Amino acid sequence: MSSPDEPQRWTYLMDMDGVLVHEDHLIPGADAFVAELEANDIPFIVLTNNSIRTPRDLQARLERTGLKIPESAIWTSALATANFLGNQRPRGSAYVVGESGLTTALHDIGYVLTDSNPDYVVLGETRTYSFEAITTAIRLVEKGARFIATNPDATGPSRDGSLPATGSVAALITKATGREPYYVGKPNALMMRSALRAIGGHSESTLMIGDRMDTDVVSGLEAGLQTILVLTGISTTASVEHYPYRPTKVINSVADLVGRTQSPF
């Protein structure tokens, strides 16, 4: 904690898509914002509900847009899910519907990936959901496997429009089995707290920057963080009024924080 005579020392959590980038394009000013955080030695971590890619893959993706962010400063719903399962049931087993971001995270905590009597069915993001894999997941949940999903997002973006995402496929499995999954990613504040632990941050001196009221802002609030909504993604000034809670601050984009990262409020 800062003394009364010292300025507040902030730690930043921020969403990726809609805050720093749109698909494969840099949001103007995001590079200057990140550069200022690094120049001032301000701790930060980039969050994403997407579980498809590993942090290393995401680092390369961001670098192609012009953003140089360390692999250690990227926290995904796959990592949060692995962190959760590693604490709940160390060195357990799981049947995974997802891609390398999720399977790598589970391998790294010592999990065995199997379709033979697994402890968990873990559902994540993939661009190629297999009917056969979903059927296997349904049958394993029916047999008693615990049902975990990386995030509740119903759709994901693509160049051609929306794609079904984890939440939609989870609803299909729930409809077939009557079993609801436990969602680890945003808006579950668990993801915020696991990111804070990963970066050594504290809720009273951390702010969350996001573009969605229903995931970023609410999860930040529930984790006890200050919140900033940017208008470069999903939510608008009009849509803010539809929610029973408000962000601490609304700005046009992270470019508005350049020159103010040490005193954002």
Q: How confident is the model at residue 155 (pLDDT cuts 50, 70, 90)?
A: confident
Please pick, among 17, 31, 153, 211, the residue that the annotation labels catalytic: 17
Per the structure, the count of domains in the chain is 1
Question: Does residue 133 form part of some domain?
Answer: yes
Q: How far apart are CA 26 and CA 70, in angstroms?
A: 17
The answer to whether residue 99 sits within a structural domain is yes
State the residue for tokens 């949001």.
27
Confirm whether 118 is domain-assigned: yes
Q: Is the pLDDT of residue 3 over 60?
A: no
Tokens matching residue 171: 């609803």
Tell me whether residue 19 is in a domain. no
Q: Confirm whether 153 is a catalytic residue.
A: no
* Residue in the block written with tokens 């046009």: 252
> Tell me, what CATH number does 160's domain have?
3.40.50.1000
pLDDT tens track for 77-124: 999 999 999 999 999 999 999 999 999 999 999 999 999 999 999 999
Active site residue 31: no
Of the listed 5, 15, 115, 256, which one is catalytic? Answer: 15
Asked if the structure places residue 108 within a domain, the reply is yes
Give the domain range for residue 157.
Answer: 88-181
